[in-house]
Structures are given as C-alpha cells and as structure tokens.
Chains A and B, each alone.
Chain A
Amino acid sequence: MNFDPTATEPDPHPPARSAGRAVRIGIGGPVGSGKTALVAALCRALGDRLNLAVVTNDIYTTEDADFLRAAGVLAPDRIEAVQTGCCPHTAIRDDITANLDAVELLEQRFPGLDLVIIESGGDNLTAVFSRGLVDSQVFVVDVAGGDKVPRKGGPGVTTADLLVINKIDLAEQVGADLTVMAADAHRMRGELPVISQSLVRTPDAPEVTDWVLAQLA
C-alpha cells in the first residue's frame, strides 16, 4: 500500500464485469476537448466491425447525440442521451442510475452488443467515471486548454486508463509545448498510457481505436 498522494497506479480492483454483457468504455474530459469528435471517430472506425452503441451526457441533453446522429456515423437508435440534472459529474460517478438505465435499454434493444461508449458531459479535471458504470475510461484533454493541464493532474489525468492529448495540430497556434505536455503526462501517470493525436491529421483515431480493441480482447 502506497500512501504517497502523488503516486499513481492502475486500479487494483478487477472490473466487476459479468459474462456476456457489452464492454463499457467511458470517455471524459473538459468542455471542448474533443470528446464527441473522438466518439464519432471511434464509431467510424469500429461501427462496421463491432455491435456498437453510444450514451451521451451533454449538459444540453441532446446536443452531442444530435451531432453524432447528424454525422451519420451510427444509426440514430444506437445513440441514447441522458439528462443529468445540471450535474454531469454526478451522473457518471456518484449516482450512475440514469446512465445504467440507458446502457441497459441499449443492451435490450441490440442483443449481443460488443461495446457501449459512454461520453460524459464536459466537466472539470476531477470528473471520472465510476467503476460501477464503465470497465475502462479515456480522459481527453487538448492542447488549446493549455499545456499545464497534464501537470495540474486530478483524478482524470492521473487515473484514467488512457489519457488522450487532443488537437496537437493546434500546438503552434496556441503556444503549447507538446514535449512538456507529454513529459508531464507520463510523469503524472506512471506506467499508464498516453496518446497524442489530431483528428485533423488522422480522422479515424487509429491509436485510440487499437487501444479500444485491446480492451475488448
């Protein structure tokens, strides 16, 4: 047992996953970091290969769901929007009832689902998913949010199973130092993985797609 508050290590508890149900992956991160764009990229990359569905938690209820439906990356009835009562972090962490209802609805509607992606509403750096809701989680930050974000830490940056540093194509315009961001991220996260990407350069998010597929293996 390590009581050093700055130490990080993977969650020692095995995920409580019952046999036969879909793998649930949470995608969280601050407002505007590119969560919905990443979900759309994953749907494009995996929609033909997996039986896939999405739950969104946008504070404006249907905005993200509408975006995904309009993007045409997934059939509209495979996307459910959850209302979070002004508390997006509560809905993914402290009281996961509304999200579990949505996941179970999708599992009933599409028997044999392989993967449910749950996108959080944009929130702060402390908002992580409950292990009762997801099997693993991705935390998305972006270079335009400032290159100090990985250094600030918080449970999202330090404990998520995967950290994605998004929009690296903008680094020069916003004066963000990618080397510092990546070094800080690795320092804060120990052995946990970090992927830097730009959906402008690689619209199908190949590295994150591979990571997601590894979670299903």
Chain B
Amino acid sequence: MSTVDGVAMVTLILADARFPGGGHVHSGGVEEAAARGLVTGEADLAGFLRGRLRTAGELGAVFAAASAHAAAAGATAGHWRLLDEELDARTPSAAQRAASRAQGRGAVRAGRRAWPSAVLEGLLAAVPRPHHPVVLGALVAGAGGGPSDAALCAGYLAVSGPASAAVRLLGLDPFGANAAVAALDAELRAVVATATAAAALAPADLPAQSSPGLDLLAEAHDRRHREEVRLFAS
C-alpha cells in the first residue's frame, strides 16, 4: 500500500487545489450566498464552511468511504449502480446533482491517467458518469488507499473549494480564509470517523445529513445564471 504515515499519496493529490479535475469552477454555494449578502467576511465564511462540512461534506465523505470499501471488496456492477443511485436520492437539488456528476467526470478524466485501475473501469462500465464522491472512493482504492483516505479527501474538498471561491469573489484575506479551513480540523476528523464507521453498510443504510439551505442556494445559483452573471458553475 502506497502510504506515508497512514495517508496515501493519492489523497494528497486529489485534495490539492492544483489537481486538474475541474473543481476550481465550483463554489459550493458561496457565490450565491455572497450575492445575497449571506457571506460577507471571514466570520460568515467560517460559519458557512462549518455547516457545509457537517452536511454536504459528511454526505460526500460517507459515500467516498463506502465507494472505497466497495472497491476493495470487488463491487459488482449492480452495487456500483445502487451506490450512485442512493447518493442521487440524498441530493435533492438537481443543480447539485449536475455539479457532482460534472466534478466526477473531471476527476475520472484526470484520475484515469494518474491511477488507471480495473476498479475504476468497473465503476465506469456500470455507471458512465458517477457522482464525485463515488469516483473519489474508486480512485483512492485503485491507488492503494482506504475508506478513511477517501472520506478525508471528500470532506476536505467540501470546504477547501468554497473557501477559495470566497477569496476570489469577496477579496477576503487569504490568510483568514485559510485559517478558517484549518480551524475545522477536529470536525473534519469527526466526519471522517463517521464516514469510515459507515463504509461497510449497505448503500440504502448509509447516513445522510441534509442541508436545505445549500440545496436552495444551488437551485437559485442555477436559476440566476440564466438571468445574470455567475462566475462559477455552481
């Protein structure tokens, strides 16, 4: 297993903002929240990120961990389809489902070159355009990582991208935004623990935190984009 102090290199690369998987065009609701004056500075951002990590972040972490577990257990095509469908069912916003599948596609394109694996091809044969967390789990597992690596990656990405978007949209102090992400250390560990503990559950039994606020922001972002300027895809 290609691990350094327990974390596989694949996790670091997937979580790196320089990973060329298309993540930089998604704000995770920050652009819409900023446009509505709901996020205006570092204090608002910290609260937004905390909420995002405990809801959308935990959901992504749970499914990334379950995907990595399934990959290691030699998942059937039917299992991959079920896992992807169960994440669909836990993502009520159509705009968020589209954003997740777009990022999944980007991660597949970049990840196929870096970590080609039978596991990834098996997933894609069953689900041609999987959700982002499902792809993360398969990529991590294909490169020798485990469910906790995949969960760490998904949970971190749920807040790192939005924090960067806030810097770009609001001109926030980048040191402040970075510190806001770093302050989530304990909560990210808790999310990873929850996700790792649930990784072996049947897809239908996977826990799901919901965030109606993020769902509404995602839908509003998509609707507004057709009327006025939106710089991010979501």
A54 within 8 A of B: no
* Contact status A85-B106, CB under 8 Å: no
Taking a contact as CB atoms closer than 8 A, the residue among B102, B110, B229, B231 that contacts A85 in the complex is: B231
Interface residues of B in 9-54 (CB under 8 A from A): 18-27
A98 and B231 contact, CB distance less than 8 A: no
Task: Flag whether A192 is at the interface (Cβ < 8 A).
Answer: no
Contact of A83 among B20, B168, B233 (CB under 8 A): B233
CB distance from B24 to the nearest CB of A (A): 5
Contact of A61 among B20, B168, B229 (CB under 8 A): B229
Q: Are A97 and B21 in contact (CB under 8 A)?
A: yes
Nearest B residue (CB) for A132: B20
* CB pair A100 B109 closer than 8 Å: yes
CB distance from A97 to the nearest CB of B (A): 3
Partner of B110, one of A60, A83, A97: A97
A85–B168 CB distance below 8 A = yes
Instruction: State the CA gap A178–B230 with chains docked (Å).
Output: 39
Decide if B26 touches A85 in the complex (CB within 8 Å). Answer: yes
Chain A interface residue count, Cβ-Cβ cutoff 8 angstroms: 19
| B110 A94 Cβ-Cβ under 8 A | no
Known A-B contacts A87-B168, A101-B102, A101-B106; the reply to A95 vs B232 at CB < 8 A is no
Contact across chains for A83 and B231 when beta carbons are under 8 A apart = yes
For chain B, which range describes its interface: under 10, 10 to 19, 20 to 34, or 35 or more residues?
Answer: 20 to 34
B82 CB within 8 Å of chain A? no
Query: Is A171 at the interface (CB under 8 A from chain B)?
Result: no
What residue in chain A is nearest B18 (Cβ atoms)?
A94
**Chain B residues within an 8 Å CB radius of A37:** none
A170 within 8 A of B: no
Kindly identify which residue among B22, B27, B165, B225 contacts A97, using a CB–CB cutoff of 8 Å.
B22
B169 within 8 A of A: yes
* B105 at the binding interface (Cβ < 8 Å): yes
Asked whether, in the complex, the Cβ of B20 is within 8 Å of the Cβ of A86, the reply is: no
Q: List 6 A-B contacts (CB under 8 A).
A: A60-B229, A84-B25, A95-B22, A97-B105, A97-B109, A98-B22
Q: Which 8 A-B pairs have the closest CB atoms?
A: A97-B22, A97-B106, A85-B25, A86-B168, A95-B20, A83-B233, A85-B232, A85-B24
| A-B contacts besides A82-B25, A95-B19, 6 pairs, CB < 8 Å | A61-B225, A84-B231, A85-B231, A94-B18, A97-B25, A98-B22
